[in-house]
Amino acid sequence: MTAEPHVVTSAPISDEIRRTTCYMCACRCGINVHLTEGRVTYIEGNRDHPINKGVLCAKGASGIMQVTAPSRLRAPLRRVGPRGSGAFEEISWDEALETATAWMKPLRETAPEKLAFFTGRDQSQSLTGWWAQAYGTPNYAAHGGFCSVNMAAGGIYTIGGAFWEFGQPDWDRTELFVMFGVAEDHDSNPIKIGIGKLKDRGVRVISVNPIRTGYSAVADDWYGITPGTDGLFILSLVHCLLEAGKIDLDYLAQWTNAPFLVNATDGPEKGLIFKNAESQPFVIDRRTGMPAPWDGKGVAPDLGAALLGHRTVFQHLAEEYLKPDYAPEAVADRCGIAPWRIRALAAELAQAAFDKAFALPRPWVDFRGNHHEVMQGRPVSFHAMRGISAHSNGFQTARALHLLQIFLGSVEAPGGYRLKPPYPKPIEAHPTPHHVSVPGKPLSGPHLGYVRSPADLCLKEDGTPARIDKAFSWEAPLSAHGLMHMLIPNAHAGDPYRIDTLFLYMANMAWNSSMNSAQVMQMLTAKDGEDYVIPRIIYSDAYASEMVAYADLILPDTTYLERHDCISLLDRPISEPDAAGDSIRWPVVEPDREVRGFQSVLLDLGARLGLPGMVNEDGSPKFRDYADYIVSHQRKPGIGPLMGFRGTGEDQGRGAPNPDQIARYIENGGFYQAHVPEGAAYMKPWNAAYQDWAVGLGLYDTPQPYLFSLWSEPLRRFQLAAEGHGPRQPPEHLRDRLRQAMSPYPVWYEPAGEAAGEGYPVHALTQRPMDMYHSWGSQNAWLRQIKGRNVLYLPTAIWEGQGFQPGDYARVESPTGAITVPVAHMAALNPHTVWTWNAIGKRKGAWALAPDAPEAVEGFLLNHLISEVLPGPNRVPNSDPVTGQAAWFDQKVRLTRVGPRDAAEPQFPVLPDPPRAGGGRGANFLRKFGRFGGRGA
């Protein structure tokens, strides 16, 4: 035998590792970026980082291909041809910024609402919101309205915190985990790590989802529910638990408003919480049978009390959900789940919560001053995401799921669902929305917030919506994230008014981020005489997306490895249940093009416009760039974008600005954590130790204990308005739907898509894959090899029923439009549902892909089937009537087999190639490898 070849097993890895934060999706994992001779050569997860603990997903490890993508924009662009033609010329940054200033400055001085500033997937909303407030336009929001607001609002109005990434199951202690509509797109590495932990411990994982892929594929049991019926299914579980008395009465009595009395007197107070002479809610003390303060020490609230005919919230809820309407047999057909399956899941929930209950030996004191020797563990946990969020009944469905976990006593209990700082946070600690704009002045307060009653709506004196997206109007009263999906349709319709300049960041509204892409493209190019209906569009993006072609002025952004960012407690931090956390990005490589980080550009524009807070007294710019802002801006004295290393470097949370702060973050791996003391880690909304810790960190100024809102007064106030009470009244055409949707207790109602889609029997969904993020992935040479094609998956009943064959296409029709797309069979699917991967389809010519790329030929979007408005008069949004969340998943369709084809329809004209960086994988390959290796020049 000949000697084995010599193998080099211990070669140097790289010259240097720089630790920053990933942005291949919104997960915000820590990454180690390896550099060799100044080039990025490898990216791996940062083991010390709280979010990903060293692991990294398919996207994160492909970041190197994003930073070298040929689609990167190269320099500022000015449109020179018709809008949408893609004809641009490159201009200098000074010219670009002067142009933008010349457009924006006169608007600010005359009609600031004519500037609409909306941001897509950024993570700097505390900056962009502050900027828009200083400018004075009421028209600002980010993309949450078409993404997640049902989950955010449903959670915050109920438990003072939400699903998505704002909390997580107690992975180490839970004994049963149930997911509703959880796809793989958000908080993905933490959820994958968590599922791995559960599998390791042999804990059962259950998925409720029409589609059995990803997490649902590894789940131990699968409930292939019919879309839009989750709320009914959940309330049926509640019915079963009530019937058997398997609910946590002590938890309900102590930590929720279940023992409050509901006002039974007919009139404008009916259905509100019954108050005492001091306008305070109160409870009946079981020890005395007498009224007692809700927050009184030693009080034992009576869930079964009645006073003068006013009964407790608990009695109202129990009576409602015990009705036969919620029995498994009554809901089974609609949900597509057999009655015995619903009863079996209820039994499993009860078994986990009560038979596997445990006491965690951690003494604690609650806000009433009562001492507890242990923390009561309820090891059952839930998670939910877009599958329930993107329906027009999603807000109430999210509330129903929170009600279920509250009835089981598991929210914030050991083994249950745990919130991450700055949550828990009651409604009262959030601002209300502000909209009053005065030329030349800042807005009266923050744009977005949580309304308590119709008095907080953003309406003009004549009762019409103050905002272009009609957020916080009767169309969407609790639209805490705005309605970005209505921005362009409303501006085009001049409803409620016309605007002048549309200013967008990182939002592909001319393609997958609009509900109806084809119509929005027409709206963006529509003319009124000589002028465009939307006269000016300014857009910032790093890449040659579809939206770039529709802008008049392009402010090219950097990639995520070339910039500063701040993942802040003021916005959307990287906290864990046991630690508040924030982090930064920093330029681990310098851009080699004429591009600038958008946040620095925004501050530059602010200074040119002379916006308050962005200029010194002499008019000079206050901030050198975004990095300077991150370090030196103070939202309140001592409170800035980053909590770590404040003051002399030792202060946490509160402290003077520290010029070395970013350097300290870099040294620390790009993040900072403030750990929750062990005795404060659970029962946070009521745990005095947690409340004190949160005040010390600056999360609140005073302790903010609160009770969970099973019965929601804000909702009831809107329902009362719909019933005719109060000075502010909804328009007649919205009265009925408000009466239904604004129920103070969780309800299920049929999604609006059912009536809108009569004659269209099939549900059509999209999912985001784990290895692609929105439209960004397709420009990535590695990721597009994994998912460069999408097909419409058909369940067996449709596949066999219509005689589909491999290679076939189907014509898919909705009341709004039709598409013709490739199909494939999938048995692990709800029988009334078809689905595809989101945003794989691309417009020809975009993203620096060849026009014959599969994404542009056979790839497709469902968006062309979806309308922003419901059928009928008044342009009522195709959104949740409470929050305005885009009801993407309400979509109904019908299918016809059309046999084999070679391209999807519709097809749009090829977008001309804008000036961009070029290069990319091919050029890199030659440079790196020449022929048979060797380091190129």
Which C-beta is closer to other proteins: that of 366 or that of 456? 366
Q: Which of residues 675-694 bind other proteins (CB under 8 A)?
A: none
Q: Is 310 exposed, middle or buried (0-12, 13-18, 19+ CB in 10 A)?
A: middle
| Rounded-to-integer distance, Cα 893 and Cα 912, Å | 33
Does residue 764 interact with other proteins by CB under 8 A?
no
| DSSP H or E stretch at residue 810 | strand 808-813
> Cβ of 442: how many Cβ atoms within 10 Å?
18
CB of 635 or CB of 935, closer to other proteins = 935
Residue with Cβ nearer other proteins (42 or 93): 42
Residue 4 is a binding residue for other proteins (CB under 8 A): yes
Among positions 102, 172, 199, 899, the unique one binding other proteins when judged by CB under 8 A: 199
In the bound complex, what is the minimum distance in angstroms from residue 790's beta carbon to other proteins? 14
What is the SS3 string spanning 136-153?
Answer: CCCCEECHHHHCCHHHHH
- Rule CB under 8 A: choose which of 20, 21, 46, 62 binds other proteins: 62
For other proteins, which stretch binds (CB under 8 A), given 58-66, 111-119, 291-299, 882-890? 58-66
The footprint of other proteins on residues 288-327 (CB under 8 A) is: 302-304, 315, 318-319, 322
SS3 464: coil
**Touching other proteins, residues 104-133 (CB under 8 A):** none
Within 13 Å, how many C-alpha atoms sit on residue 738's CB side?
26
Q: How many residues bind other proteins (CB under 8 A)?
A: 111
Whether 577 and 638 have beta carbons less than 8 Å apart is answered as: no
CA distance 179 to 502: 38
Q: How far is the CB of 41 from other proteins (least distance, A)?
A: 5
Candidates 637, 803, 806, 933; binder of other proteins (CB under 8 A) is 933
* C-alpha span between 220 and 229 (Å, rounded): 22
Residue 937 engages other proteins in binding (rule: CB under 8 A): no
* Residue 1 within binding range of other proteins, rule CB under 8 A: yes
Nearest residue to 585 via CA among 624, 553, 559: 559
Residues 6+ apart with CB under 8 A from 513: 120, 143, 146, 484, 485, 507, 547, 774
Going residue by residue from 530 to 569, which x/- string records binding to other proteins, judged by CB under 8 A? Answer: ----------------------------------------
Our finding on whether 402 is near other proteins (CB under 8 A) is no
Q: Is 266 left (phi over 0), alpha (psi -120 to 50) or beta?
A: beta
CA-to-CA distance for 512 and 522, rounded, in angstroms?
15
- Determine which residue in the list 30, 70, 120, 881 makes contact with other proteins, applying CB under 8 A: 70
In the complex, the smallest distance separating the C-beta of residue 341 from other proteins, rounded to whole angstroms, is 7
646 binds other proteins (CB under 8 A): no
Q: Are 25 and 63 in contact (CB under 8 A)?
A: no
At closest approach, how far in Å is the CB of 195 from other proteins?
A: 6
What's the CA gap between 127 and 131, in Å, rounded?
A: 6
Find, among 804, 775, 799, the residue nearest to 787 by Cα: 775
Return the number of the residue (286 or 735) whose C-beta is nearest other proteins.
286
Token pair for 261: 């009395």
Question: Which two three-digit tokens encode residue 564?
Answer: 């500063």
CA–CA distance, 464 with 174 (Å, rounded to integer): 49
Contacts of 732 (CB under 8 A, 6+ apart): none
The values of phi and psi at residue 873, to 5°, are -75, 175
Binding of residue 169 to other proteins (CB under 8 A) = no
Does residue 424 have a cis peptide bond before it, meaning omega lies within 30 degrees of 0? yes
Cα 329 from Cα 338, distance rounded (Å): 8
Q: Which is nearer to other proteins, 47 or 635 (CB)?
A: 47
Q: Give, as ranges, the residues between 779 and 798 that touch other proteins (CB under 8 A).
A: 779, 781-786, 788
Answer for which of 78, 105, 204, 372 binds other proteins (CB under 8 A) is 204
- Cβ-in-10-Å burial (0-12, 13-18, 19+) of 287 comes to exposed
Q: Is 7 in the site for other proteins (CB under 8 A)?
A: yes
CB of 846 to other proteins, least distance (A): 12
Bridge partner list, 292: 283
Does 235 engage in binding with other proteins (CB under 8 A)? no
Which of 219, 380, 738, 887 forms a contact with other proteins (CB under 8 A)? 219
- Is residue 902 part of the contact set for other proteins (CB under 8 A)? no
Q: Which is nearer to other proteins, 58 or 756 (CB)?
A: 58
Beta carbon nearer to other proteins, 279 or 785: 785
Interface residue with other proteins among 196, 369, 431, 494 (CB under 8 A) is 196
Considering only residues 804 to 863 of the shown chain, the ones binding other proteins according to CB under 8 A are: 826-829, 848-850, 852-854, 857
The verdict on 11 binding other proteins (CB under 8 A) reads yes
CB of 348 to other proteins, least distance (A): 5
Among 90, 221, 651, 754, binds other proteins (CB under 8 A): 221
CB of 306 to other proteins, least distance (A): 10
- Minimal distance in Å, beta carbon 452 to other proteins? 31
> How many angstroms separate the CA atoms of 498 and 823, rounded?
42
Q: x/- site string to other proteins, residues 323 to 362, per CB under 8 A?
A: ------------------x-xx-xxx-xx-----------
User: Binders of other proteins among 171-190, rule CB under 8 A?
Assistant: 184, 188-189
- Contact between 928 and other proteins (CB under 8 A)? yes
Cα separation, 173 vs 30, whole angstroms: 25
Percent helix, strand and coil across the chain, each to the nearest 5: 30, 20, 50
Pick the piece of the chain touching other proteins (CB under 8 A) from 47-55, 72-80, 446-454, 708-716. Answer: 47-55
Single residue of 93, 105, 111, 220 touching other proteins by CB under 8 A: 220
Q: How far is the CB of 402 from other proteins (least distance, A)?
A: 21
Q: Does 526 bind other proteins (CB under 8 A)?
A: no
**Pairing relationship of beta strands 536-540 and 501-505 according to DSSP bridges:** parallel
Q: Which of 8, 277, 308, 937 binds other proteins (CB under 8 A)?
A: 8
Residues 6+ apart with CB under 8 A from 213: 767, 828
- State both tokens at 375: 């923390």
Write down the least CB distance from residue 55 to other proteins, Å: 4
370 or 729, CB closer to other proteins?
Answer: 370
CB nearer other proteins, residue 97 or residue 544: 544
Rounded CA Rg of the chain = 27
CB 646 within 8 A of CB 653: yes
Tell me which of 74, 121, 246, 596 binds other proteins, using CB under 8 A.
Answer: 246
Q: Determine the residue type at 814.
A: S
Nearest residue (CB) to other proteins, 518 versus 786: 786
Residue 42 touches other proteins, criterion: CB under 8 A: yes
Instruction: Give the angle 862-864-870 at the CA atoms, nearest 5°.
Output: 105
CB of 771 to other proteins, least distance (A): 4
Is 192 a binding residue for other proteins by CB under 8 A? The answer is yes
**SS3 for 617?**
coil
